[in-house]
Amino acid sequence: MSSISPISLIVSITFFFSLLLCSSSAQTVVKASYWFPESEFPVTDINSTLFTHLFCAFADLNSQTNQVTISSTNQPKFSTFTQTVQRKNPSVKTLLSIGGGIANKTAFASMASNPTSRKSFIDSSIRLARSNGFHGLDLDWEYQSSATEMRNFGTLLSDWRSAVVAEANSTGMPRLLLAAAVFYSNNYYSVLYPVLAVAASLDWINLMAYDFYGPGWSRVTGPPAALYDPSNAGNYNKRTKPNKLAHSYYAATTGAAISPDGSIGYGQIRKFIVDNGATTVYNSTVVGDYCYAGTTWIGYDDNQSIVTKVRYAKQRGLLGYFSWHVGADDNSGLSRAGSSSYHRHKRGILRRWDDRFKMSFKVTTLRTNYKSRRNT
Ligand SMILES: *[C@@H]1O[C@H](CO)[C@@H](O)[C@H](O)[C@H]1NC(C)=O
Ligand SMILES: *[C@@H]1O[C@H](CO)[C@@H](O)[C@H](O)[C@H]1NC(C)=O
Ligand SMILES: *[C@@H]1O[C@H](CO)[C@@H](O)[C@H](O)[C@H]1NC(C)=O
Ligand SMILES: *[C@@H]1O[C@H](CO)[C@@H](O)[C@H](O)[C@H]1NC(C)=O
Ligand SMILES: *[C@@H]1O[C@H](CO)[C@@H](O)[C@H](O)[C@H]1NC(C)=O
């Protein structure tokens, strides 16, 4: 770390889970994670026995044709994903995830705005899922930013559900699962999610209750994926927008272990702790870990945070949890900690969907943001 010693580093890892389910789902538990090829984590190395569902990310939306596509680079890995992960766990289910944080959100908004383009999206997504052996589809549109976009999102989901039901009916195959990754609150900066359409159409949603602090958007350090916010009665729904925060600022650093978005994996953090004799602290008030050595400060989730969050999810009657992302774990340690602390729960304990939707919680720690900070 000597090359960066003049400035402090901040790493936030958010390997979270969250999940919500819809009462229509026959699913009793979801223990899931995302995998993506850029992580360079071999699919064969995923210990799929620790999961019920795995998301393969990402397929793309073609903004000209409104069809879902898999890039030629990703095609070989995506088309064998299901059979590969099912070798260790024949009952694991896979979902093809569409979009992602860097996808063109204007294209999603445009596609969802009229029936013809919605149909192109839906029909191509179903074809792609079937031809590549996936059991379901996941939409990661970040984010719908107006009331109109939210309404169209709801219509898209309803159309999608009808289409997968009809397809299953006509092919005799099990219906494709439908999921979506959504903001951690049903209120996206004053724009409300179409919760009824979401509940009626999807098997579950993945709440992205992380990235609360990160070097790319925060000006102070803080827990990246806290379960509780003592300043706001237990949730982050009213968190100040990053540009309202002050006191210190970040400057990006680079290094072999740091990805372009400024994140590093949990395995790298373990190595940092060992190599630098870093002090590790579990903060039970927020439920999050951090470590520091010299001028470096890293926020992340370790076993204890994950176990606490997974138990929270179970106690609140949530369907399960997910993490972003499986390739950032360290010998499956966090995935094992999460999996062993969430056992099947009884059905019939579901609360009102939108109550659950408002809960922000996350569990794992896999996304990290590794940046430097200088005090002002
Ligand atoms: C996968 O995890 C299970 C459960 O912890 C463990 O028993 C098994 O040995 C692991 N498999 C591999 C290949 O690491
Ligand atoms: C994003 O999508 C919009 C709407 O379809 C399109 O006009 C625009 O060219 C796309 N941007 C990029 C960078 O592809
Ligand atoms: C299922 O298929 C049958 C026969 O093909 C048809 O009569 C029925 O309307 C279909 N149901 C749905 C929900 O598509
Ligand atoms: C834990 O987090 C709370 C809330 O941010 C903070 O007030 C407290 O100082 C933290 N404790 C430790 C040991 O970092
Ligand atoms: C976390 O738990 C896993 C198994 O549950 C274990 O292998 C690993 O050593 C633990 N990590 C730490 C840092 O305690």
In the chain, % of residues over pLDDT 70: 75
Handedness of CA 360, 364, 367, 369 (dihedral sign): positive
Q: Please state the rounded mean pLDDT for residues 261-281.
A: 87
Which residues surround ligand 5 with Cβ inside 6 Å?
302-303, 333, 336-337
Counting Cβ atoms within 10 Å, is residue 245 exposed (0-12), middle (13-18) or buried (19+)?
Answer: middle
Q: Would you state the pLDDT for residue 119?
A: 98
Arithmetic mean of pLDDT, 172-178:
98
**pLDDT tens across 298-328, in order?**
888 999 999 999 999 888 888 999 999 999 9
- Residue 201, judged by CB atoms within 10 A of its CB (0-12, 13-18, 19+), counts as buried
From the list 40, 142, 149, 167, the catalytic residue is 142
pLDDT at 281: 95
Residue 305 three-state SS: helix
Q: Is 40 a catalytic residue?
A: no
How far is the centre of ligand 5, averaged over its atoms, from the C-alpha of 123 (Å)? 43
- CA separation (Å) from 62 to 67, 103, 129, 263, 281? 5, 10, 16, 28, 45
* 223 confidence band (pLDDT: 50, 70, 90): confident
- Ligand 4 site, residue 231, Cβ cutoff 6 A: no
The full DSSP string for 117-155 is HHHHHHHHHHHHHHHTT-SEEEEE-----SHHHHHHHHH
Amino acid of residue 318: L
Residue 262 has pLDDT above 60, yes or no: no
Helix (H) or strand (E) holding 171: helix 147-171
Q: What is the enclosing helix (H) or strand (E) of 269? A: helix 266-276
Q: How many Å lie between the centroid of ligand 5 and the Cα of residue 303?
A: 6
Section 204-208 average pLDDT = 93
Mutation test residue for ligand 1: of 41, 43, 48, 49, the one with most atoms within 8 Å of CB: 49
Average pLDDT (39-47) is 96
- Condensed to tens digits (0 to 9), the pLDDT of residues 15-37 reads 444 444 444 445 679 999 999 99
Instruction: For residue 319, give Cα distances in angstroms to 11, 28, 31, 186, 194.
Output: 29, 7, 9, 17, 20
Closest alpha carbon to 213 in 156, 262, 279 = 262
Q: Kindly report, residue by residue over 87-119, the tens digit of the pLDDT.
A: 999 999 999 999 999 999 999 999 999 999 999
DSSP letter at 24 equals T
Q: Ligand 4 within 6 A of 280 CB? A: no
pLDDT at 260: 53
Residues 146-153 have a mean pLDDT of 98
More confident residue, 231 or 42: 42
Dihedral pair phi/psi, residue 4, rounded to 5°: -120, 15
Q: Is the pLDDT of residue 367 over 80?
A: no
For residue 149, which amino acid is it? Answer: E
Band (pLDDT 50/70/90 cuts) for residue 242 is very low
Tell me, what's the pLDDT at 100?
A: 96
